[in-house]
Amino acid sequence: MTADGEHPFSAAITPLVAAMGAEMVPPGEARGDDVVLSWEGEAVVAVRLPHLADSLDHLLADLERRHGRALAELGRKEKQTVVRILEERGAFSVRHGVETVASALGVSRFTVYNYLNRENAAKERE
């Protein structure tokens, strides 16, 4: 245990859980859809995953933090990179994902689709 009573495994996964927008709860409070993680046969922590729509909001907020400014303030190339990252993370499988991303980037849905098509065309050429 760490000085504050936290299990070292919990401390180790905290950055990952935060990056996913998830929440750590005691194993005894786990619900059916929580993921209980064990260390050496002992249930240490349960991870409560966010809803998909919340995940997209979390991804957008994380990308804003990484860029140090609102996504709408980014240049075209940076916005294209953001769209590529979001596509890799499944952001466009969420209902209204394109609209949500377009709003965050300050562009039209058409522009997001253009970025996606450009990226997919580049992959096909490789």
What's residue 87's pLDDT? 92
Contacts of 78 (CB under 8 A, 6+ apart): 67
Give 20-44 pLDDT, tens digit per residue.
778 999 999 999 989 999 999 999 9
Name the pTM for this structure: 0.64
Beta carbons of 48 and 22 less than 8 angstroms apart: yes
Question: Averaged over 108-114, what is the pLDDT?
Answer: 96
Handedness of CA 72, 78, 79, 84 (dihedral sign): negative
Give 50-91 pLDDT, tens digit per residue.
876 677 888 898 899 999 999 999 999 999 999 999 998 888
What's residue 118's pLDDT? 80
